[in-house]
Structure 1
Amino acid sequence: MREKMNLSPKILAACLFTVGQLAQAAPAGAPASAPRMRWEVLRNDFSSPHGRTRARLSFTAPRGMALPAQGWSIYFNCTDGIVTGPLAGKLALETVSGGLFRIRPQPGFKGLPAGRTLHIDYDYPNLLIKMARAPSGPYLVFDSAPETAIAIGDYQVHVPTRPEQLRRPAGRDALVTVQDIYRRNARADLLPTDALPLVFPTPLALRSGPGKVHLARAPQVISGPGLRYETAYARALFARYLPPGDTAQPPLPLRLRIGDVDGQDSPEAYTLSVGAEGINIVGNSAAGVARGLQSLHGMLPLPSDASSLDLPELEVTDAPRFAYRGFQLDVARNFQPKEVVFKTLDLMAEYKLNTLHFHLTDDEGWRVEITGLPELTSIGAVRGHSDRPGVRLPPAYGSGPRIDDPHGSGYYSRAEYIEILRYAAARHIDVIPEVEMPGHARAAVKAMEARYHRMKDAGEQGADQYLLNDFDDRSVYRSPQEYTDHVINPGLESAYTFIDKVVTEIAALHREAGVPLKTMHVGGDELPHGAWEQSPVSRALMQREKLASVADLWDYFYNRVDGILRKQGLYASGWEEMGARRTAEEGAPQAPNPRFNRRGFSLYVWNNTPGNEDFAYRLANAGYDVVLAPVTNMYLDMSANPNPDEPGVNWGAYLELDTVYDFKPLAASLSEAGRSHVRGVEATLFSETIRDTHLLDYLMMPRLLAVAERGWAPDPAWARETDPARAEALHRAAWSGFVNLLGQRELPRLDLERGDVFYRIAPPGMVVEGGKVLINHTLPGLTLRYTTDGSVPTVHSKPVTGPIAARGVIQAAGFDRNGRSGLVARIVNK
């Protein structure tokens, strides 16, 4: 699959190379093999307050190529920063840009003979717990050919296993043992199939009937006007489950209709009835009918070769708790093609999520075509090595030196973006595009800087029309991603011209798609302190407008942005900082900004870290609309636990499935008016670590189903119960229903219907009791297999059917319906 990138053959050829071409860059003699590199943690050190980690890169020169004493660099990406400066062995570690680093020889380095290994030890300023912080995308460049990069494809990250690598401070980031997992899993009971909830997410009201309805063939779909997509979906659904069925039997009617649902004003409200006279779905709108069809879909038995099926008689009246139930997909850090977006939208629709928050731009990529601003995609959507400024963005998040890396480079053409919008609209999912500003904007800043220089060199008029940075800015700042040149400058009128242009063009794309835009997400997060302070144009603006501080300049900026959006008939959405009053102190608790609380801003609140735990509710009480996206419950890029073999990041939290499920959206501190300002919930998945779609699935699923439950279902009884013992019993019953539903029905259905959703299969829990090994899983009903001979379990290994009496090393893993295994657990039964 190749993304549209508008790269000339000449530019593409300049960045494509093979091992055989290394002679052009290396000293005399082309190598007969490629370089290789290994990385490992050496030890964790607790001599400093936050700890420190010593790590090692081991570079092996290939046969036929020695590293000379001078004139080369090894580049790599690393998130969260590392300690730069002189290294042992006469080497130096330098920052290039953001998370791109390089190692260079210093005077006195003696070179590296061909075939020999160079060990390079360096430090992290705090403890390294997750492998997401290991170097990625390494490559080698010789000074004699600075535009030619040699990708180090033979690169391995060694997961820590030794005690000195795994040391953790007491009470923090402790390794999770198989015994820990067993005890956690034991909080749920295994339920029989007939005890599983009938409808997911939990409906508002369900009344079961006395019997079952037999379908010998696909029902006859009878639909009213305005239901073209729903009619096609219903026919395709039953054609898959009952092909062709007993055509001698009259079909049961499946009636779809838009009509009033008594007592419910949500457009997604529906009623579903199954009885001897047929199946009826009535929705307040087509969206309601679609949600009812998904409930019917979930009631069907798992796909099989059966020529008929039975449905339980029931009546359902249902409506979502929150009008907003979202998922944020980040395609800026690591790009995903439109087919992955389609798959994501299918999963969202299946579980009744209704908003795709589309994170299209960031420091490391601009991912949508904008008419009249080709540099946004010819430069801002392309990552790769170059020694010359303004050619492309540097490698980031492991994208490496090549400009045709499918995740580092790529964007959606206008036609592709419209296709995504229409695909979402057919499934009644709103798409909210995000254009990051004023921080997280390096892709745009550098693209418009390149446009300026191109036009200036050509003597063209209007070179500065869309310029975003002040060349005389001497402000000192650093973003969490280590950038010092990534901020849109509010003192430039051209910055607002640019924003107006982008907003106008994106709104036009939505109109052309037939799905007019209602809001745009305009960022607002993580503007580093120090930005703008030493910019002449910003200081001049502050003087003209009588702005006393940078906090006032922030307000001026978003006042202008809000006006641009309103001109297009849009309201402003953004991260919580957009509605916070900026403080002079880094890391100070945030306070609602009184200047914007009546503007209709919709704020996405992620920060519930210490000192800001209740900020979402204070914003709502102050009059801001809020979407709850707390990092400690809804950030799906967070790792499940601190174990090194679990992917994901850990800067904010660890999120097991129950961490998401247990989230209580509404706090007691909300006023009555404040409760009305909580629009809903959103799961967020930033893509810094996602270099393949399997990992996207792994981090998203099945935690997204817990998000769906929290967004749709009413407050569960356990969340309302004040007696601790009673609340615990209620929680156990509800949690058991949820995880059994996932393990026995929802995830197996994905396996059998799709087969392309590589959800996380957690490692089993294991304990030794009475001389026997007991094994369980977070998803009861999932197939578990084990070995006793030291081998890794496969689909042919013995199934776990009870306690295991065998001695020695017992290894076990969970398996999906297609034979795919999850992480392996092991225990010794002595």
Structure 2
Amino acid sequence: MRYYLIVILMAVAFVKVAAKTMEEPQFNAHDLSIVWEPVQNDYKNHQQSLNAITITNNGKKTFPASGWKMYFNSARLIVPATVSGNAKIDFVNGDLFSLTPTSTFTEIKPGQSVRVEFIDDEPVVNITDGPEGFYVVWDNQPDKGYNTGMFTLKPFKPNYAGLVTPAIIYDQNKNIQDVPETQLTKVFPTPVSYKETGGVFNLNKDVAVIFSPEDKFAKELELLKSTIEPLIGSKFKTDLKGGSVKMINILYDGRLDSEAYRLTVNPGNITILASTGAGAFYGIQSLKTLIPASAWAHPQKEIEITCVDVKDAPRFPYRAFMIDVGRNFQPKSEILKVLDVMALYKLNVFHMHLTDDEGWRIEIPSLPELTDVGAKRGHTLDAKHNLPPSHGSGGEIENKTGTGFYTRADFIEILKYADKLHIQVVPEIESPGHARSAIKAMNARYNRLMAEGKKEDAERYLLYDPNDQSQYSSNQYWTDNIMDVSLPSTYNFVETVINDVVGMYKDANVPLKTINFGGDEVPAHVWEKSPAYLALKATHPEIKNTGDLWYYFYGRVNQLVKAKGLYLSGWEEMTLRKTALDGQPFYVPNPDFMPEHLQAEVWNNSLGDGNEDLAYKLANAGYKTVLTCVTNLYFDMAHYKSFDEPGYYWGAFVDIDKPFSFIPFDYFKNSTVDRNGLPINRNIFIGKQRLTDYGKTNIYGLQSAVWGENIKSTQRLEYMLLPRLLGFAERAWSQDPDWATEKNTAKSDSLYQIAWVKFLNVVGKRELPRLSYYADGYNYRVPKPGVVLQDGKYLANEQFPGLTIRYTTDGKDPDAKSKIYNDAVTITSNGVKFRAFDNKGRGSNVSEPVTP
């Protein structure tokens, strides 16, 4: 008996050891570091690039030559046969690839490395073009992913058309003059009327803020107190006792429009006139920008505010910023911080792109799988419990950008916070495309309920017919990301999501006007072999082909939205009828939806693609149109063509001049470069629709956007958003500038240059120093200096007057203690490096001119 007991104990111990071995591989994948190296563009005279990854073993054990696969993400397709021959690369789905060692792959001993060379199907332009998110999966543990360690990239100096060099930056900056701060408008965005009246108002503890609980603007006055009192380190008085004669108050003036205000600052008082809380709020925001930027750095006993008389109102009623949190998640704290900076610059719509192929980010209590499955990313090949890694999120589920969602309580808190700032939150639920997270979540629900024997309930919210044999590939290479709009269950899903979203707004006591239901990028060949489509077609004679499903789907969704007292909004494809012209696909405004007052948000004006006038077509046809033009208003685009500037560039390069120079009613006029940053051929505008006077009345507003694919941290979000958002705010709020309407080209250019220089001085000297500390400070982009060689010496300049340029001559990168650049720098044997710094000591990328 004792013998058998010993055998049993030994067997149990063996099982435990075996289980532990399965749970904990002998080699720690975190000991592997990966270096990506772009090697050569135009490889073998094709539009492709030769790349390499070097895998280094930093551990104490040998990494084996086989028994594993390595997975990673890439936004570009990769040729399967690697050049080095020691590995094979396979496409999985979306942006996920696998790397499998071949028989020639060698083990990696401690301290050693292995190099794998491969071909990317496009040239390398910047740091966003590389692979990312490497992780290891062991053959004996195929369901578990282990992230590798440090990932770095080797600097690359490509030679391609449109490359922006320090010398080109210098040339762009050479006409930017320093404007004394006394000559700058001290309210931003530029108001309708601004006049400095002489003298100052001394903001200190003796100032009284007068209001009563029943005051029409009590909420706005409380907000004013809470944001400005910290600047003086004490509370404002609430009465005129004790000899105080200075006061701040907000008075009702019914003659003003809903968002208009008048701000008057005299030595003895500050008065804001408004007819609504929104107008009063914008008057307060103007007062905040009137306060010197230095006051936000630390409390001061007394702050001098210039006396002014300001009359102001916005140009457009819809001034929006869209953030994509579906691709990469942003925490609630960052969302609130984004709302703060939006409010400061008088934007009033926050469009939350809450769902996409790679993530569902809002809790829908009626359908818990949406977040239980759809809000998590980690290694999987079947997506039954979570989504696969995308955009470098890695193989482990515990990650900050791939995994995450807003609970119902979180979202209600966001709604209330935005409402306090007079910002409307527009939720976007992507459909029918970009819906993989929802599809896989509802598949998981189906599997759970089928296992419980509840077939009818299981099928109630299915978004995908398992018998559909249609083959397609989306723009992002997904092969299974489109809702089947022929399924009745799809509309059960849509209605349930609408109900839960409406309930959150109700509980937040915040108005909801519209829900955006996407409509973007549904690929060809979808639904063609869907049994549900064939059945629907047989009973609906108006459906002749899969293209007609478009109108069927949005017609039904529109009815569901209208039933809740809302109107439907979406991307431009929602409002288009797909037809053909000379045998080629062609879009025209859909007349069927025009009476429904749908809101179209138009991004597609890519220069050279043929749809440059799409927004104007829709507005001229009668659609309420929001301009979200990729050429000027997509802030996830790289600032310019340089390897060290992150961001996509498929639609354009977008520096701060693009939103500032945008002319909403004639954006053809100031379009000067194509998507590659090269001079444009203006023949592309021949025959394009111009905006009619009627069409102008349908331009509801402007929307800037940050899509989330390459936004992997709060710091990167702020880098891409700011200060470009200020150029957008100027165009969305301020009146049509004189240079935009001037028909004489030379005079228009001259007027534009004057306005551009003033704007850059305001941003550099007033707004960037404020943003260094406002709302605990923002990680805005500090542009690198321009540098040119003249007469044997280097000259440097900066885009924003007010920044400090520093340099080194010892080969090291400049830091906040390096020498300040004041005059030309002589060439040295170690070369010269320049960087710009803000008032907080944060530096730009390094400008390193070529040494002759």
**Is TM > 0.5 for Structure 1 vs Structure 2?**
yes
| Paired amino acid for 2:629 | P
* Other-structure match for 1:795: 816
More displaced 10-residue stretch of structure 1: 70-79 or 31-40 = 31-40
CA distance in 2, matches of 1:54, 1:686: 28
* Other-structure match for 2:170: 182
Question: How big is the shift at 1:484?
Answer: 0.6
Deviation per CA, 1:562-589, whole angstroms, max 9, x where unpaired?
0110011110110011011124799945
Match of 2:247 among 236, 245, 253: 253
223 and 589 in structure 1: CA distance in 2 versus 1, 3 angstrom threshold: farther
* Other-structure match for 1:481: 476
SS at match of 1:827: coil
* Other-structure match for 2:511: 516
Contact 2:318 2:700 in 1 (8 A): yes
81 and 505 in structure 1: CA distance in 2 versus 1, 3 angstrom threshold: same
| Paired amino acid for 2:836 | G
384 and 250 in structure 1: CA distance in 2 versus 1, 3 angstrom threshold: same
Deviation per CA, 1:681-708, whole angstroms, max 9, x where unpaired?
1110011111111110000000000010
* Other-structure match for 1:708: 729
CA distance in 2, matches of 1:31, 1:294: 53
Deviation per CA, 1:601-658, whole angstroms, max 9, x where unpaired?
1011000012011100000001111110111100000001111111111111101111
* Other-structure match for 2:592: 595
Q: Percent identity?
A: 38
* Other-structure match for 2:34: 37
SS at match of 2:457: coil
* Other-structure match for 1:271: 262
Deviation per CA, 1:97-131, whole angstroms, max 9, x where unpaired?
2111101135x446425344332222122222122
Match of 2:423 among 422, 425, 429: 429
* Other-structure match for 1:376: 370
Deviation per CA, 1:768-795, whole angstroms, max 9, x where unpaired?
3344332211101112212222221111
475 and 717 in structure 1: CA distance in 2 versus 1, 3 angstrom threshold: same
1:398 aligns with 2:392: yes
CA distance in 2, matches of 1:504, 1:408: 26
216 and 437 in structure 1: CA distance in 2 versus 1, 3 angstrom threshold: closer
* Other-structure match for 2:487: 492
Contact 1:245 1:308 in 2 (8 A): no
* Other-structure match for 2:123: 127
SS at match of 1:540: helix
**Structure 2 unaligned spans of 5+:** 1-17, 667-688
SS at match of 2:405: coil
359 and 594 in structure 1: CA distance in 2 versus 1, 3 angstrom threshold: same
Question: How big is the shift at 1:61?
Answer: 4.6
* Other-structure match for 1:420: 414
Contact 1:752 1:817 in 2 (8 A): no
Contact 1:25 1:144 in 2 (8 A): no
* Other-structure match for 1:103: 99
Contact 1:218 1:238 in 2 (8 A): no
Contact 2:321 2:704 in 1 (8 A): yes
SS at match of 1:581: strand
SS at match of 1:92: strand
CA distance in 1, matches of 2:159, 2:848: 20
* Other-structure match for 1:148: 144
* Other-structure match for 2:189: 201
* Other-structure match for 1:675: 696
1:355 aligns with 2:355: no
Match of 1:697 among 714, 718, 723: 718
CA distance in 2, matches of 1:829, 1:73: 44
Deviation per CA, 1:523-559, whole angstroms, max 9, x where unpaired?
0000011111111111211221111122211110000
Matches within 5 A, 1:276-675: 276-301=267-292, 302-303=294-295, 306-460=300-454, 461-546=456-541, 547-583=543-579, 588-609=585-606, 610-667=609-666, 669-675=690-696
Contact 1:622 1:674 in 2 (8 A): yes
CA distance in 1, matches of 2:770, 2:649: 31
| Paired amino acid for 1:621 | N
102 and 626 in structure 1: CA distance in 2 versus 1, 3 angstrom threshold: same
CA distance in 2, matches of 1:125, 1:512: 50
* Other-structure match for 2:5: none
227 and 639 in structure 1: CA distance in 2 versus 1, 3 angstrom threshold: same
362 and 249 in structure 1: CA distance in 2 versus 1, 3 angstrom threshold: same
More displaced 10-residue stretch of structure 1: 611-620 or 199-208 = 199-208
Contact 2:377 2:393 in 1 (8 A): yes
| Paired amino acid for 2:259 | E
218 and 193 in structure 1: CA distance in 2 versus 1, 3 angstrom threshold: farther
CA distance in 1, matches of 2:236, 2:651: 56
1:813 aligns with 2:835: yes
* Other-structure match for 1:219: 207
The number of aligned residues is 797
Contact 2:80 2:89 in 1 (8 A): yes
| Paired amino acid for 1:488 | M
Question: How big is the shift at 1:756?
Answer: 2.8
SS at match of 1:462: helix
Question: How big is the shift at 1:398?
Answer: 0.7
182 and 226 in structure 1: CA distance in 2 versus 1, 3 angstrom threshold: same
| Paired amino acid for 2:795 | L
68 and 814 in structure 1: CA distance in 2 versus 1, 3 angstrom threshold: closer
Contact 2:659 2:724 in 1 (8 A): yes
Contact 2:327 2:359 in 1 (8 A): yes
771 and 155 in structure 1: CA distance in 2 versus 1, 3 angstrom threshold: closer
Deviation per CA, 1:399-447, whole angstroms, max 9, x where unpaired?
1011110111111111110000000000000000000000000000000
* Other-structure match for 1:167: 159
589 and 816 in structure 1: CA distance in 2 versus 1, 3 angstrom threshold: farther
CA distance in 2, matches of 1:584, 1:378: 43
Deviation per CA, 1:119-152, whole angstroms, max 9, x where unpaired?
2222122222122121111011111111232211
589 and 709 in structure 1: CA distance in 2 versus 1, 3 angstrom threshold: farther
* Other-structure match for 1:7: none
403 and 643 in structure 1: CA distance in 2 versus 1, 3 angstrom threshold: same
Deviation per CA, 1:182-228, whole angstroms, max 9, x where unpaired?
11112321111101112111111223324333445453112462434
* Other-structure match for 2:797: 776
Question: How big is the shift at 1:829?
Answer: 6.9
Q: TM-score, normalised by structure 1?
A: 0.92
CA distance in 2, matches of 1:784, 1:456: 66
Deviation per CA, 1:455-495, whole angstroms, max 9, x where unpaired?
00111241000000011111111011110101110110000
Question: How big is the shift at 1:23?
Answer: 5.6
1:729 aligns with 2:781: no
| Paired amino acid for 1:812 | F
Deviation per CA, 1:23-73, whole angstroms, max 9, x where unpaired?
64798x546981222211121116566x11111122235656555565321
CA distance in 2, matches of 1:409, 1:601: 33
Deviation per CA, 1:303-357, whole angstroms, max 9, x where unpaired?
1665333333322111100000000011111111110000000000000000000
SS at match of 2:815: coil
CA distance in 2, matches of 1:725, 1:389: 59
SS at match of 1:465: helix
CA distance in 2, matches of 1:110, 1:314: 73
Contact 1:385 1:400 in 2 (8 A): yes
| Paired amino acid for 1:202 | T
More displaced 10-residue stretch of structure 1: 580-589 or 730-739 = 580-589
More displaced 10-residue stretch of structure 1: 38-47 or 602-611 = 38-47
**Structure 1 unaligned spans of 5+:** 1-19
| Paired amino acid for 2:588 | A
CA distance in 2, matches of 1:93, 1:451: 33
93 and 245 in structure 1: CA distance in 2 versus 1, 3 angstrom threshold: closer
More displaced 10-residue stretch of structure 1: 698-707 or 314-323 = 314-323
828 and 43 in structure 1: CA distance in 2 versus 1, 3 angstrom threshold: closer
